[in-house]
Amino acid sequence: MKIVFSKDYTVKTPGHVFRADKFEAALKLLLREGIVSESDVAAPRPPVRADLLLAHGPAWVDKSLRGGFTAEDSKRAEIEISRGVVRAHLANVGGTVLAARLALAEGLAVNCGGGSHHAFRDHGEGFCLLNDIAVAVRLLLKERRVARAMVIDLDAHQGNGTASIFKGDRRVFTFSMHGAETYPEKKERGSLDLELKPNIGDLEYLALLRRELPRALDGFKPEFALYVAGADVYRGDLLGGLGLSVGGIRRRDAFVLAECRRRGLPVAAVLSGGYARKFTDTVRIHANTIREALRAGKLQSEE
């Protein structure tokens, strides 16, 4: 199984709750522990304008490629839009596209980054400028590699940008479990939105996931899944508020990947949000998601 990563993902955001270096730190942890090797890592290419236009409007795409972001754009996205931040978002789009292609070819892949699900067609929100999820899914649909795709979004926050971009697109099913009282204040309507009470914890969260995800998969019958494996569901997260343990998150990841494997469904995972009080906790959770993907890939190859 390939892990997609680019050095361009790592951009300095001093004093900001979002630390873009968490993705590189997770990969380095796995390399140090001997779980993966350098040969397992694939570097993405930046997306071209035509790819970005599948999910974003021309004016927003041109700002992303040529510059021209305003102070109001930064305010709305809640992050200072520097050249490095734009470069990181472009690289992450390329990373999720590559992970999606690898998943179709090999059954499973992970982008060690990605998951900018708050980015809308014509503006950024929630630290997100470009919706890598929507671009990757739309590209597979455009190329007719798949006819139906599902986004399984288990970040603590609703992917409002993703839901908005895919509104009315019957080829895409957006499945989301997110905090009812967390950001964004105004939720968009996805295909299935399961709103959760604060500090729901492992048992209730996993019971709901085990009941609802198989129903959605069997009802829609996707040919490809993009799994948004947010780390911000963790009980020590500053922004998530759902109260899951590290072990509970691993069980979440293992269940999603097993359900996809059981159906022969190619799946690409992206890491998305994570803002733990202890940075090392976020890093460990992201690394654990990749561990579970590697385990699922091994089981798949043995079957």
**Active site (catalytic) residues:** 118
Type of residue at 25: A
Q: Give the contacts of 179 (CB within 8 A, at least 6 positions apart).
A: 156, 157, 195, 196, 198, 240, 241, 242
Cα dist from 39 to 31, 34, 49, 113, 152, whole Å: 11, 12, 30, 18, 28
Distance CA 285, CA 272 (A): 11
Distance CA 151, CA 169 (A): 13
Rounded to 5 degrees, φ, ψ at 192 are -145, 115
CB atoms under 10 Å from CB of 256, counted, come to 26
Rounded to 5 degrees, φ, ψ at 255 are -65, -50
Tokens of 254: 């293992």
